[in-house]
Amino acid sequence: MRFQRFFKKTALILSCVLMACSFISCKGVEITGKTEEVDGYTEAQAMVIIGSERNRYQNQLGGEVWSLPVENQQESTYGAYFVAKLKEYLQDIKTLNLLAEEKGIIATSTDMEKIRSLAEDFYDGLSAEDIAFMGNCTESDVLTMYTDYYVACKTAEYLISNVDSEVSDADAKIIRVQEIVVSDELQAEQLLQKVQVQGANFSYYAQQNSEDPNIEKTLAKAEKNDALYQAAFALEEGQISDVIEQDGKYYILKCVDAYDEEATLERKKKLEETIRSNALLRQYTAYADEHIVRFREPFWKTIDLTAHPESSAGNFFSLFDAAISF
């Protein structure tokens, strides 16, 4: 990911987790929690987020995307679906701010200096068309949305502050092997004798004989635990395996990199992030199930994503990611 330390990734992880929550259908789920009496966002405040995200998508995909049909959803078009999911996303932001109130989590005066500067930068970059599309928003509306999002991120960090997410290098290990795979056991044994000759070119024999033209494989520890993976991870660099039978095929492996350091580090980061994301999702969902936030403002039914086509500002979240750390 683009941040070096996890607390700098909180905003990104929070965004992914909340979007995951929003994209899970609630059909058939019994609602047992208490509906909270909280003020929703004004149209201008909500449109700061909706407008920025509309533009981000539209800048890449074109305005035609909003009329595309969607299947197996209450909404018939992607535009209506997009608005519904952003509404749920903003309800999730409100829910985390509700939890923040309970836990005494706030944006400090130092935090607010950064947030005010960020809001000013975003607002100053808006064109007249952007402001009109975003409900004639003011800088104060932008400040409200950045503050709530910041507090939500800070609350998410609190929820996972005690999560042990460390993954060892051994568990994240990535190796690279070359592989020969054939269907005939005798052929495999004969090939093994050839590649074991000192100075033999394993890659040449693989290219000439393997039934799989992709002779080089990248393998990740713990992805599988079959005989092939066990044999691969038992090899030293440069070592060749015996013939391995699996699922009616016969394999010979040569380890060409017993520890791909760069790939291992990247996988380790992803595994640790998954642990934290899952922990955040579990804890957030448990709270949200008991503290239900619903927006009922009429403007949600009349949002038109095709309005103000000249509006193009889509950097609400990217500015936050670049400017804010915890």
Residue 139 tokens read as: 């800088």
Please check the confidence at residue 8 and state whether its pLDDT lies above 80. Answer: no
What local confidence, expressed as pLDDT, does residue 325 receive? 78
Q: What is the dihedral of CA 122, 123, 129, 130, to 10 degrees?
A: 50
Least Cα distance to 145 among 51, 25, 59 occurs for 51
pLDDT of residue 2 exceeding 90, the answer is: no
pTM for the whole thing?
0.73
User: Mind listing the pLDDT tens digit for each residue in 15-37?
Assistant: 554 454 443 333 333 334 566 67
Place of tokens 């990247």: 266
Does the pLDDT at position 49 exceed 50?
yes
Distance separating alpha carbons of residues 154 and 97, to the nearest angstrom: 10
Whole-number pLDDT of residue 32: 43
CB distance 173 to 76 below 8 Å: no
User: Are 160 and 188 within 8 A, CB to CB?
Assistant: no
pLDDT of residue 38: 81
Mean pLDDT of 110-136: 98
Partners of 249 in the β-ladder:
246
pLDDT for 215: 97
Mean pLDDT within 196-224:
94
Give residue-wise pLDDT tens across range 254-299: 999 999 999 999 999 999 989 988 998 899 999 999 999 999 999 9
CB-based contacts of 164-168 (< 8 A; 24+ apart in sequence):
165/6, 165/272, 165/273, 165/275, 165/276, 165/279, 166/272, 167/268, 167/271, 167/272, 167/275
Token couple for 106? 């706030």
Question: Which domains does the chain show, CATH number per domain?
Answer: 6-164+274-323 (no CATH), 174-258 (3.10.50.40)
Note the helical H segments in the chain.
10-22, 43-61, 78-103, 109-124, 128-133, 139-159, 169-172, 185-195, 202-209, 227-234, 261-290, 316-323
Q: What percentage of the chain exceeds 70 in pLDDT?
A: 89
> Tell me, what's the pLDDT at 221?
87
| Of 22 and 253, more confident | 253
> What's the pLDDT band for 39 if we cut at 50, 70, 90?
confident
Instruction: Supply the DSSP symbol for 226.
Output: S
Percentage with pLDDT > 90 across the chain? 79
**How confident is residue 306, by pLDDT bands cut at 50, 70 and 90?**
very high
The confidence score (pLDDT) of residue 36 equals: 63
Host H or E run for residue 178 = strand 174-182
216 residue type, one letter = E
Q: For residue range 111-121, what is the model confidence (pLDDT) as tens digits?
A: 999 999 999 99
For the four alpha carbons of 138, 143, 148 and 153, in that order, the dihedral sign comes to positive
> CA 86: distance to chain centroid?
16
Backbone φ and ψ of 197, nearest 5° = -65, 135
**Confidence (pLDDT) at 33:** 56
Check residue 175 and give its pLDDT.
97
